[in-house]
């Protein structure tokens, strides 16, 4: 999703500077003027690398999006029942779905400008909604995303004073054709599985619409609030 979003935004806002942060080397085409940083924000000691890059380039981001997330890999699958719960699974989910976002917030806390409007969105998931949970399962993913929503609500409150022009939200991007959704796509109706470009367009729209009144909310890709 990060690639689709960068390619969409690069064309839509050609005069903006983009800072791309990833653990792996970036495989898609990046403009020479944009900044690329190889950095694992799930590790607290790597925050300083990003802070330094932003300070060296005098960047106080107008918009920040965190696309990090984990649901499964070769070994770990989302739980179908409580017997499948494991600390390893839970910790992997917490790292990518919560710690990366907390560390990124701590980075922003050092570089944001109190007098400049700015926005920060982290990709969450509809399945993080407690009131909307009718199926159960996916314990670690649901819990880590629910914790992310709470983190962003707390951050919105804390930044009301420190960065009063900064809006924060968690966002359900819609089921999108990526590595994360791949094993579950056979259960999804074709018209409910969205291409990365469409999701990028929708995320752009949510960024443009996000207001200070919505700060701290969990939003759907169409901009409507999702009940917690």
Ligand X SMILES: NC(=O)c1ccc[n+]([C@@H]2O[C@H](COP(=O)([O-])OP(=O)(O)OC[C@H]3O[C@@H](n4cnc5c(N)ncnc54)[C@H](OP(=O)(O)O)[C@@H]3O)[C@@H](O)[C@H]2O)c1
Per CB under 6 A, residues contacting ligand X are 1, 22-24, 40-42, 67-70, 95-96, 100, 123, 125, 172-173, 175-176, 178-181
Residue placing its CB nearer to ligand X in the complex, 164 or 195: 195
CB-based contacts of 133: which residues, under 8 Å, 6+ apart?
127, 142
By beta-carbon proximity to ligand X, the closer residue of 78 and 216 is 78
* Closer residue to ligand X in complex, CB, 67/218: 67
**Nearest distance in Å: CB 95, ligand X:** 4
Spatial CB neighbours of 199, under 8 Å, sequence gap ≥ 6: 1, 4, 5, 173, 174, 176, 221
Q: How far is the CB of 196 from ligand X (least distance, A)?
A: 8
Q: Which residue is nearest to ligand X (CB)?
A: 69
- Residue 64 CB, nearest distance to ligand X (Å)? 14
Q: Which of 61, 3, 67, 12 is nearest to 30 (CA)?
A: 3
Name which of 120 and 163 has its Cβ closer to ligand X. Answer: 120
């Amino acid at each position: 999703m990060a690639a689709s979003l960068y390619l969409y935004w690069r064309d839509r806002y050609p005069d903006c500077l983009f800072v791309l942060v990833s653990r792996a080397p970036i495989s898609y085409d990046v403009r020479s003027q944009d900044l690329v940083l190889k950095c694992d924000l799930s590790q607290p000691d790597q925050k300083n690398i990003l802070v330094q890059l932003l300070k060296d380039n005098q960047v106080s981001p107008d918009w920040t999006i965190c696309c990090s997330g984990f649901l499964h890999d070769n070994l770990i699958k989302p739980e179908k029942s409580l017997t499948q719960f494991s600390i390893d699974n839970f910790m992997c989910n917490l790292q990518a779905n919560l710690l990366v976002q907390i560390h990124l917030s701590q980075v922003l806390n050092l570089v944001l400008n109190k007098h400049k409007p700015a926005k920060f969105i982290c990709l969450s998931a509809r399945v993080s909604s407690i009131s909307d949970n009718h199926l159960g399962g996916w314990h670690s993913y649901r819990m880590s995303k629910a914790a992310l929503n709470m983190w962003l609500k707390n951050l919105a409150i804390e930044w009301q004073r420190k960065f009063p022009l900064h809006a924060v939200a968690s966002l359900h991007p819609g089921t999108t054709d990526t590595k994360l959704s791949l094993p579950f796509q056979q259960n999804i109706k074709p018209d409910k599985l969205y291409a990365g470009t469409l999701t990028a367009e929708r995320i752009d729209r949510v960024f443009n619409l996000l207001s200070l009144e919505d700060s701290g909310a969990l939003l759907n890709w169409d901009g409507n609030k999702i009940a917690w």
